[in-house]
């Protein structure tokens, strides 16, 4: 018996061919011997961490990075076996889960190092960790003084093994390169201290997507691309970038149409007032699904290849758009919120400009409740 797939009024389509294209393009800018550790935190920036990870692994990615222990555990439960580095804080209560799932924690302060070493003491072999150095982000990481004190103490815990040394760039996409150059210098100093202390560190990494493109000196053992894998960047226009393709599109369908008369209002707080007979389409997507309320009265969608402006405030589960200038609009028409339709396209970067944010936030905000449809050639 033929099974007809269910109709999905609202769906995020993930083009896995575009994903692998971006991976290939990114690899072309790397120095010889530098490998990709793909960042799939935040549900792979809204794209779906499990399917995204599987595809990247099929195309040669041998390491993944997530933010949390829970994200790493979910990948393990999905059958993913490559090394997974947990970039964010790991709490003592999570150490058991880290060991059981064979996740690699990033250690960012001496107290965590001590606690983790005590928990790992009963293990047969030293447990791998990555040490994070604070070089200018002002967030997580050992200070230079803390690193020097650790090295000089000659008391590095024998139950742990430093597999990697890392830091994070704060301004790789800024107009000036001064801050990043200073971070590179500080990290190189920290690496020198570590090596002169008699430690071996197989994996060294500091660069995100923008840093890898702009600063080849950050091509150590690994780089950690995130946003560029998904088709976007935030680099200045003066910087040459890889040929990237947006991976995700977001679509819904018109649920209802109505014509309102002049002086009629739309949505909460009556912020949209019709100045003429106006055709309004109701779409079943709102801020609970990731459509920012900041798009109220300023964003647009694509219907029949033309732009329809958002009318009134974005609601929790719905939004209204003005389709007066789009002849033939009908209930059920496909509506594109992110992606291409006809000769026009709305990207996450354009939405980010409308809402005074970055494409990262636009993509990550798309609710996991919206089904993901994965396409591959």
Tell me the per-residue pLDDT of 315-325, one tens digit each, with 9 for 90 and over. 999 999 999 99
Q: Report the pLDDT value the prediction gives residue 154, as an integer from 0 to 100.
A: 73
Q: How far apart, in whole angstroms, are the C-alpha atoms of residue 360 and residue 337? A: 16
Strand, coil or helix: what is 207?
A: coil
Q: Report the pLDDT value the prediction gives residue 3, as an integer from 0 to 100.
A: 62
Burial class (CB in 10 A: 0-12, 13-18, 19+), 111: exposed
- Residues catalogued as catalytic: 41, 268
Pick the CATH number of 31-230 from 3.40.50.720, 3.20.20.10, 3.30.750.24, 3.40.980.10: 3.20.20.10
Q: Report the pLDDT value the prediction gives residue 2, as an integer from 0 to 100.
A: 58
- How do 84-86 and 104-107 pair as beta strands? parallel
Pick the CATH number of 248-375 from 2.40.160.40, 2.40.37.10, 2.160.10.10, 3.40.470.10: 2.40.37.10
Q: Report the pLDDT value the prediction gives residue 320, as an integer from 0 to 100.
A: 98
Q: Look up residue 149 and give its two tokens.
A: 């004190």
Q: How far is residue 239 from each of residues 179, 191, 202, 218, 348, measured CA to CA in Å? A: 17, 28, 31, 16, 20
Residue-range domain boundaries for the chain: 31-230, 248-375
Q: What is the pLDDT along the chain (377 residues), one digit of tens a residue?
A: 556 668 889 999 999 999 999 999 999 999 999 999 999 999 999 999 999 999 999 999 999 999 999 999 999 999 999 999 999 999 999 999 999 999 999 999 999 999 999 999 999 999 999 999 999 999 999 999 999 998 888 778 999 999 999 999 999 999 999 999 999 999 999 999 999 998 889 999 999 999 999 999 999 999 999 999 999 999 999 999 999 999 999 999 999 999 999 999 999 999 999 999 999 999 999 999 999 999 999 999 999 999 999 999 999 999 999 999 999 999 999 999 999 999 999 999 999 999 999 999 999 999 999 999 999 97
> Which residues, including other chains, have CB under 8 Å from residue 370's CB and lie 6 or more apart?
10, 11, 12, 250, 289, 290
Tell me the per-residue pLDDT of 96-113, one tens digit each, with 9 for 90 and over. 999 999 999 999 999 999
- Give, to the nearest 10 degrees, the angle between helix 110-120 and helix 144-153: 40
Q: Which of 154, 138, 234, 239 is nearest to 186 (CA)?
A: 138
Q: Which of 259, 247, 321, 263 is nearest to 291 (CA)?
A: 321
Identical fold for domains 31-230 and 248-375, yes or no, is no
Q: Report the pLDDT value the prediction gives residue 171, as an integer from 0 to 100.
A: 96
* Residue pointed to by tokens 């996740």: 103
């Amino acid at each position: 018996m033929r099974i007809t797939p269910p109709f999905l009024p609202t769906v995020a389509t993930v083009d896995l061919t575009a994903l692998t294209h971006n991976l290939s393009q990114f690899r072309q800018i790397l120095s010889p011997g530098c490998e990709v550790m793909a960042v799939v935190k935040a549900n792979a920036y809204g794209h779906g961490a499990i399917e995204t990870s599987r595809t990247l692994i099929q195309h040669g990615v041998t390491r993944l990075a997530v933010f949390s222990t829970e994200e790493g555990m979910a990948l393990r439960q999905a059958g993913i076996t490559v090394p997974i580095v947990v970039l964010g804080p790991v709490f003592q209560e999570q150490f058991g889960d880290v060991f059981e799932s064979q996740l690699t924690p990033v250690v960012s302060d001496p107290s965590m190092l001590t606690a983790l070493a005590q928990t790992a003491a009963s293990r047969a072999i030293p447990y791998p960790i990555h040490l994070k150095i604070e070089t200018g982000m002002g967030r997580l990481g050992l200070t230079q003084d803390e690193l020097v004190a650790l090295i000089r103490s000659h008391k590095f815990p024998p139950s742990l093994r430093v597999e990697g040394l890392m830091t994070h760039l704060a301004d790789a996409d800024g107009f000036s390169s001064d801050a990043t150059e200073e971070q590179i210098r500080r990290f190189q100093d920290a690496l020198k201290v570590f090596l002169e202390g008699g430690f071996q560190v197989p994996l060294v990494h500091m660069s995100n997507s923008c840093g890898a493109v702009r600063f080849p000196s950050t091509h150590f053992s690994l780089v950690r691309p995130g946003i560029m894998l998904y088709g976007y960047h935030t680099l200045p226009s003066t910087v040459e970038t890889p040929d990237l393709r947006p991976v995700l599109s977001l679509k819904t369908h018109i649920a209802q149409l109505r014509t309102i008369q002049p002086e009629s209002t739309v949505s909460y707080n009556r912020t949209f007032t019709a100045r003429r007979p106006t055709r309004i389409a109701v779409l079943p997507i709102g801020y609970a699904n990731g459509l920012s309320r900041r798009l109220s009265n300023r964003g647009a969608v694509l219907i029949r290849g033309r732009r329809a402006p958002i009318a009134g405030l974005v609601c929790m589960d719905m939004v209204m758009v003005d389709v007066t200038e789009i002849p033939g609009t009908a209930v059920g028409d496909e509506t594109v919120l992110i992606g291409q339709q006809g000769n026009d396209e709305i990207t996450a970067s354009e939405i980010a400009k409308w809402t005074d944010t970055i494409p990262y936030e636009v993509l990550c905000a798309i609710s996991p409740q919206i089904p993901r449809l994965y396409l591959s050639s």
